Amino acid sequence: MALLLFAVFWLGCAEAPTGPAVPAAPPVTGQPADGDLQWRLADRRELPEQVARADDWQPLPVDGLRGGFTDKTTWLRFHLPPETAWLLYLSNALLDDVRLYCADGRGLWQEVLRSGETLSRAQWPLDYRSPILPLPEAEVEQAFLLSLRSKNAVSVGIALMSPQAFFEKTQNEAFLIGLYFGTYVLMLLVHLFSWFISRLPDNGWYVGYLVLAMLAQSLSLGLPQQWFHLPVGLSDPLLGLSLIFILPVGTMFACRLLALQQIYPRLMRSLLAFCWLVAACSTLILLSGHYGYAMLLLQPTILLLIPLLVGLACWLLWRGHRSALLFLVVFGVLYVGVLVSFLCNLGVLPAMLWIEYAASTSLLVHMGMLGLYIGQHHSNLRRERLRAQQALTEAAKAYSSRLERQVVRRTSALREEIARRAILERGLREALVLEKRIRGEQREFVAMVSHEFRTPLAIIDTTTQQMARSLDAPPEKVLRRCRNIRSAVARLFALVDEYLTQDRMETGQGSFQREPMNVAQWLAEVLDDWPLERLQVELAELPGIFHGDRGLLSIALRNLLINADKHCAEGLQIRLQVQGTTDGGLCLRVSNPAEEIPEDEARRLFQRYYRGRQAQRRPGAGLGLYLVRRIARLHAGDIVLERRGEDGEVRFCLTLPATTGSEIFTGSGLNEAAASPGDAAGDEQPASVGEAAAPACDGRR
């Protein structure tokens, strides 16, 4: 409906030709100029008489004159029958100068009518968009000459028609022009509204592109010149500027349809820069008054860009870019119309109806498809924006949910960290309490060691003084005193072994070294100082060679025997059972008759510096059993309390598994063994009787 309204609008605006009264004539159809018309090109300085006498006249083609671009004058020659009213119709509205000459009776040529853009519209014979010349009637046949000049291509359809036929032609033409430009105006209004709403650059550029196309088409048809009586000094620059700026704007849309901005951005910038440079140069030439030279620069550039862009589109299409197909469809229509029109102007193609209007029709179709593309592109952008907003909203929700989960996790982790720090704080407090207790134990140990060392030293000193005063004493008395000295010295050795061995293991000094040792020989060396009546030894299935630290194992066995000796009454025997294991290791059991060890004390027997109630009356440092356990674990073994005296016998079992080869442990190895589970003061393991595990506590006293 809107399209029809615009068609009616343009139909009303298309004025019927006005001018001098034309004599009535019978209703005959338009008669195109045929072979009766002849044409030739001549220098502009030649006079009509010279032109008429020339012998190089050529028959005018039926499809009209196609002289192309020329700076010469195009002449036509024809004759009219008498007493007939004819109109000479010229289809090209951009002819600069049109002059009609008629021969008089003397053979001279007189100018009878004149038209063209160099002449004011008020002086045209008929006010029409293109030159229309009413031919004068005569009683006899007349000869006419017509001269044509134009800075544009001399491509013009020529027809002789009656006034009635011309009137019908103008009515049909007015309707087609209204329909044509009504479509343009409709597209312009739609995209103006779309641009006003969206403010998208593509819509704005398309509106400008559409205005330039409408201006170029209307000026080419001569409509603004007819309606507004535009002089050639204004209409030619307007037409030239519209054609000039169509070049860069159209190239920009071509590059966008080819998606060159994403594929070849540098090529796109170079093409646009070149087109704008050509447009600027053409504009300067045009404004300086040289319309023809500006067109000579513009038209070859367009003809160069068309195969370049089409070839690039074909190559991109072969490479799989679907955008190239859209370009070939949208711009291919325009390029075909431009080429057809250009070839028609040059006379290569005949001036058929569809060829004559090929450029105008292809431009309208091109603009329509480009408008549809921009509208679809705008719609796609809107949908993508909505999808992006929806995705952004969903992402924000997901991020918020993830953030909430992260806050929950962080809060939980923080609570766990607070709980862990609280545990560490309690551990530090317990460690501080333990440190205070150990310091107290160390002070007690120092006082105890000081006391323990003084007693044997005092015995040695007193006995030595007695021996010095009684050098002639009986041998029995001297022997008894020597035994006292030896007993005191043995006591000192035991204290030194206990303290120094423990200190060496705690500070990491010395080394632990396994070496092959003869078990029988080692036992003989350790038991050499023990009287036979005090110690009962039972040996069974001893391995010939055992790998271990000879010195440390001697200390461990001696501490076990000394511990048993302290708690074994006089006259009773200590029993040592040494038996080889199936894997080549050793199992040493030391038992002695003694009072029952309370269960609460049994759990702390292997604790460092610990001395039970029964040991308070006897000398000792509380390191003996502690050292035995450390030495056993260095050998990958252990010591347990098998019996705690319920049946009158206390028995310890030291197990040493077999090893092969020689292993050397530095002081750090001693510390690591010393720091094994159960070594800390107060750490307890379940006690057992028989073959069960004994409490892994520190020394008994």
- Identify the three-state secondary structure at position 651: strand
CB-based contact 543:659 (threshold 8 Å): no
| pLDDT the model gives residue 245 | 92
Average pLDDT, the chain: 77
CB-based contact 609:439 (threshold 8 Å): no
Give the type of residue at 101: Y
Q: 81-132, pLDDT tens digit by residue?
A: 776 778 888 888 888 899 999 887 777 888 899 998 888 888 899 888 889 9
In which band, very low, low, confident or very high, does the pLDDT at 12 lie, cut at 50, 70 and 90? very low
The predicted model gives 611-635 an average pLDDT of: 70
The predicted model gives 487-493 an average pLDDT of: 69
Of residues 348 and 204, more confidence is placed in 204
| pLDDT the model gives residue 565 | 83
Q: Does residue 34 surpass a pLDDT of 70?
A: no
Q: Which range among 425-439, 483-497, 591-605 has the greatest average pLDDT?
A: 425-439
H helix or E strand, kind and range, residue 111: strand 109-115
In which band, very low, low, confident or very high, does the pLDDT at 218 lie, cut at 50, 70 and 90? confident
Of residues 28 and 428, more confidence is placed in 428
Of residues 128 and 153, more confidence is placed in 128
| pLDDT the model gives residue 151 | 81
| pLDDT the model gives residue 495 | 62
CB-based contact 612:601 (threshold 8 Å): yes
Helical ranges in 47-162 per DSSP H: 48-53
| pLDDT the model gives residue 619 | 55
Q: Does residue 279 surpass a pLDDT of 90?
A: yes
CB atoms within 10 A of CB 669: 15
User: Of 287-291, 404-408, 619-623, 642-646, where does mean pLDDT reach its minimum?
Assistant: 619-623
CB atoms within 10 A of CB 138: 13
- Identify the three-state secondary structure at position 39: strand
Query: Would the CA dihedral through 18, 19, 24, 28 be positive or negative?
Result: negative
| pLDDT the model gives residue 277 | 95
| pLDDT the model gives residue 11 | 38
User: Of 252-266, 340-354, 409-423, where does mean pLDDT reach its minimum?
Assistant: 340-354
CB-based contact 92:150 (threshold 8 Å): yes
User: Of 143-147, 213-217, 614-618, where does mean pLDDT reach its minimum?
Assistant: 614-618
| pLDDT the model gives residue 244 | 92
User: Of 90-99, 169-178, 662-671, where does mean pLDDT reach its minimum?
Assistant: 662-671
User: Of 258-262, 295-299, 345-349, 529-533, where does mean pLDDT reach its minimum?
Assistant: 345-349
Percent of the chain predicted with pLDDT > 70? 77
Of residues 612 and 525, more confidence is placed in 525
| pLDDT the model gives residue 411 | 92
What the block records as the tokens of 522 is 């080692």
Q: Does residue 30 surpass a pLDDT of 80?
A: no
H helix or E strand, kind and range, residue 653: strand 649-656
User: Of 26-30, 45-49, 221-225, 631-635, where does mean pLDDT reach its minimum?
Assistant: 26-30
What the block records as the tokens of 491 is 């006591």
| pLDDT the model gives residue 498 | 56
The CA distance from 529 to 511, in Å, is: 27
In which band, very low, low, confident or very high, does the pLDDT at 446 lie, cut at 50, 70 and 90? low
Q: Does residue 507 surpass a pLDDT of 60?
A: no
DSSP string, 604-637: TTTSTT---TGGGGS---S-HHHHHHHHHHHTT-
| pLDDT the model gives residue 266 | 92
Ramachandran angles phi, psi of 666, nearest 5°:
-80, -170
Q: Does residue 438 surpass a pLDDT of 50?
A: yes
Q: Does residue 611 surpass a pLDDT of 50?
A: yes
| pLDDT the model gives residue 13 | 43
Q: Where are the beta strands (DSSP E) in 302-458?
A: none
Measuring CA to CA, which residue among 510, 511, 503 is closest to residue 449?
A: 503
| pLDDT the model gives residue 599 | 77
Sole residue written with tokens 């997901």: 398
The predicted model gives 187-216 an average pLDDT of: 82
| pLDDT the model gives residue 660 | 56
The CA distance from 190 to 184, in Å, is: 10
Sole residue written with tokens 């159960």: 678
| pLDDT the model gives residue 362 | 80
**What domains can be seen in the chain, in order of their start residue?**
2-170 (2.60.40.2380), 181-380 (1.20.1070.10), 488-674 (3.30.565.10)
User: Of 89-98, 443-452, 627-636, where does mean pLDDT reach its minimum?
Assistant: 443-452
In which band, very low, low, confident or very high, does the pLDDT at 450 lie, cut at 50, 70 and 90? low
- Identify the three-state secondary structure at position 1: coil
Q: Does residue 280 surpass a pLDDT of 90?
A: yes
- Identify the three-state secondary structure at position 294: helix
Q: What is the pTM of this model?
A: 0.53
Output the CA angle 22-179-242, nearest 5 degrees.
Answer: 90
Give the type of residue at 54: A
Of residues 27 and 408, more confidence is placed in 408
The CA distance from 500 to 701, in Å, is: 16
